[in-house]
Amino acid sequence: MTKPTMKVLVTGAAGQICYSLIGMIASGQMLGFDQPIILHLLEVPVAMDALKGVCMEITDSAYPLVKKVVATSDYQEAFTDIDVCIMVGAMPRKDGMERKDLLEKNASIFKGQGEALEKYSKKSVKVLVVGNPANTNCLIAKTYAPSIPAENFSALTRLDHNRAKAQVADRLGVNVSDVHNVTIWGNHSSTQYPDVSHGYVTINGEKKSITEAVNDDAWLKGDFISTVQKRGAAVIAARKLSSATSAAKAIVDHVHDWVLGTPEGEWVSMAIPSDGSYGIPEGVIYSFPVTCKDGVVTIVQGLKIDDFSRNKMEVTDKELREEKQLALN
Ligand code: NAX
């Protein structure tokens, strides 16, 4: 039997992340290879010509799962009855722009799009914010869509999570699929805290904690953390453009696991509204270790937090509260 069609909105659809992302979604990698979809693609009016080209390529790719494509710059058309909302479009930081200005500009975009979610979307819509500053943009969208449950909002830290796994795999000479349960805490920014202290690797069929397998505390508490924190900047320095294909893959991983579930015993990182877990007070969108089942996200509880971790978790929490203040003012 064919599944009911799902409507997926992608904003910033003519941008570089979406150029990688849309094909992955259309092929079934995100929602399943048996899931028919209608794609809603939102852009600003000046980018509509470029978006036309993207649409031609979707047509020419002949994806059997794509039932229809709606390309628009109209919020009502874009947000009506959607099941999944991937917010990639955002105002980029320009030369000479203060962080405060960037936060303000984006706050106005995400206020408008939050209002559109409130007005036109299904109450069950799952929202993923990618456009930076992702956590705070997500908070703004959530604020302006009060009738959509808070647990339907998330921001992307899966790219950081994947980067952390890949760094450990590379260091140990194992496959990324052998690295489990790393955590990204906090903000998708350079204050994020990539934490492997609860993770493990499988080497020759044997489970070992990452800390024991790596056996180099100085690296784990030093270069490893800063490499993951600054990886986005390193990609920009090399490519002269920010991460795109790895961001698209992370978006697909995030939504896939949210909708279809995380494997038994495995957790991933998602930035979600804090519920007070691990002493992070409510009011910010904070990245936690989570599991997903039947579309419900649950924060992994009971992990031991030492002083080193506590300090790093507080630094990134403080930054999120400052961002919130700037954005809301
Ligand atoms: P691009 O500049 O290539 O594309 C952004 C697109 O968004 C443009 O086509 C623009 O016209 C459109 N846009 C702008 N305002 C819009 C609005 N109000 N409604 C709809 N569309 C709008 O950027 P790209 O490289 O695709 O990156 C997009 C965003 O993702 C940036 O904010 C970037 O910083 C952020 N990232 C977030 C990551 C994360 O892990 N959370 C990682 C990758 C990326 O850096």
My answer on whether 230 and 303 are in the same domain is: yes
Interval between CA 92 and ligand 1 midpoint (Å): 7
CATH number at residue 67: 3.40.50.720
My answer on whether 322 and 200 are in the same domain is: yes
* Residue ending a domain, choose from 111, 126, 155: 155
**pLDDT at site 93:** 78
- Mean of the pLDDT values across residues 206-235? 96
**pLDDT at site 94:** 76
Question: Which residues, 6 or more positions from 325, have their beta carbon under 8 angstroms from its beta carbon?
Answer: none
- Mean of the pLDDT values across residues 248-267? 98
Q: Is the CB of 71 under 6 A from ligand 1?
A: no
Question: Which residues, 6 or more positions from 210, have their beta carbon under 8 angstroms from its beta carbon?
Answer: 168, 179, 182, 196, 197, 199, 200, 201, 220
My answer on whether 282 and 189 are in the same domain is: yes
**pLDDT at site 239:** 93
pLDDT at 95 over 80: no
Question: Which residues, 6 or more positions from 19, have their beta carbon under 8 angstroms from its beta carbon?
Answer: 54, 244
Please tell me whether 106 is known to bind a ligand: yes
Q: Report the percentage of the chain scoring pLDDT > 90.
A: 93
**pLDDT at site 114:** 98
Q: Which domain holds residue 203?
A: 158-328
* Residue ending a domain, choose from 110, 133, 155: 155
pLDDT at 92 over 90: no
Q: Is the CB of 92 under 6 A from ligand 1?
A: yes
How far apart are the C-alpha atoms of 261 and 6, rounded to whole Å?
17
Question: Which residues, 6 or more positions from 244, have their beta carbon under 8 angstroms from its beta carbon?
Answer: 16, 17, 19, 20
Which one from 188, 198, 254, 256 is the annotated catalytic residue? Answer: 188
Q: Is the CB of 16 under 6 A from ligand 1?
A: yes
Task: Tell me the sheet residues that pair with 154.
Answer: 128
My answer on whether 281 and 247 are in the same domain is: yes
pTM: 0.98
pLDDT tens, 66-78? 999 999 999 999 9
**pLDDT at site 100:** 80
My answer on whether 167 and 179 are in the same domain is: yes
Count of domains observed in the chain: 2
My answer on whether 109 and 188 are in the same domain is: no
**pLDDT at site 273:** 98
The reply to whether 258 falls in a domain is yes
My answer on whether 109 and 214 are in the same domain is: no
pLDDT tens, 167-182? 999 999 999 999 999 9
pLDDT at 232 over 80: yes
Ligand 1 atom closest to the Cα of residue 18 is 26
The reply to whether 1 falls in a domain is no
The helix or strand, by DSSP H or E, that contains position 219, with its residue range, turns out to be helix 217-221
pLDDT tens, 10-53? 999 999 999 999 999 999 999 999 999 999 999 999 999 999 99
The residue count for the chain: 329
My answer on whether 19 and 95 are in the same domain is: yes
Q: Is the CB of 47 under 6 A from ligand 1?
A: yes
Please tell me whether 252 is known to bind a ligand: no
* Residue ending a domain, choose from 127, 155, 183: 155
My answer on whether 202 and 266 are in the same domain is: yes
My answer on whether 255 and 234 are in the same domain is: yes
**pLDDT at site 1:** 72
State the greatest distance between any 2 C-alpha atoms of the chain, in Å, as a whole number.
Answer: 55
pLDDT at 246 over 80: yes
The reply to whether 24 falls in a domain is yes
Going by pLDDT thresholds of 50, 70 and 90, the confidence category of residue 245 is: very high
My answer on whether 93 and 133 are in the same domain is: yes
pLDDT at 297 over 90: yes
pLDDT at 277 over 90: yes
My answer on whether 280 and 250 are in the same domain is: yes
Interval between CA 314 and ligand 1 midpoint (Å): 28
